[in-house]
Amino acid sequence: MATVSLARPVRPISPAVASAQRRISRAIVYIVLIVIGLILFTPFILAFLGTFKTDAEIIAWPPTFFPVKWLVENWPRLWRTDLGGQPRPEGSTSLGLVAGVFIFFVTFLFAGLSSEEKGKGLPAAIGLPICLGLAILTGFGSSLYLRLSFEVKNTTFLWTTGIAVSIFALLAVGILYMSRPDWQRVILAMLLGIAIGAVTTVLFQQLAVLAGGGRFFRWLFNTALLSVIRAFTMLVFCSMAAYALARLRFPGKGLIFNFMLLSMMIPGAVTLIPTYVIISKMGWVNMAYALIFPSIVNAFGIFMLTQFLKAIPHELEEAAFIDGASYFQIYKDVILPLARPALLTLFILQFQGMWNDFLAPLLYLNTPDMFVLNVALSTFQQQYKAQWNLTLVGAMINAVVPLAMFFFFSRYYIEGVSYAGVKG
Domain edges within the chain: 21-79, 88-213, 226-424
Q: Compute the distance between CA of residue 26 and CA of residue 31 in angstroms, rounded to an integer.
A: 9
Q: For the chain, give the percent of residues with pLDDT over 70.
A: 89
Q: Compute the distance between CA of residue 321 and CA of residue 405 in angstroms, rounded to an integer.
A: 37
Q: Is the pLDDT of residue 408 over 80?
A: no
Q: Is the pLDDT of residue 412 over 50?
A: yes
Q: Compute the distance between CA of residue 73 and CA of residue 71 in angstroms, rounded to an integer.
A: 5
Residue 291: which of 221, 364, 193, 377 has the closest Cα? 364
Q: Which residues of 63-90 are buried (b: 16+ CB within 10 A; e: fewer)?
A: eeeebeeeeeebeeebeebebebebbeb
Range from 39-53, 219-233, 260-274 that averages highest in pLDDT:
219-233
pLDDT given for residue 307 in this prediction: 87
Mean pLDDT of 39-56: 83
Q: Compute the distance between CA of residue 418 and CA of residue 309 in angstroms, rounded to an integer.
A: 13
Q: With the CA atoms of 291, 292, 293 and 294 taken in that order, what torsion angle do they form, in degrees rounded to the nearest 10?
A: 50
Average pLDDT value over all residues in the chain: 83
Q: Is 197 exposed, middle or buried (0-12, 13-18, 19+ CB in 10 A)?
A: buried
- Reported as a pLDDT band with limits 50, 70 and 90, residue 382 is low
Residue 393: which of 59, 79, 42 has the closest Cα? 79
**Secondary-structure class of domain 226-424 per CATH:** mainly alpha
Are 97 and 146 a contacting pair, CB within 8 Å? yes
Q: Is 149 left (phi over 0), alpha (psi -120 to 50) or beta?
A: alpha
Least confident of 285-289, 322-326, 338-342: 322-326
pLDDT given for residue 201 in this prediction: 94
Q: Compute the distance between CA of residue 174 and CA of residue 128 in angstroms, rounded to an integer.
A: 9
- Reported as a pLDDT band with limits 50, 70 and 90, residue 420 is very low
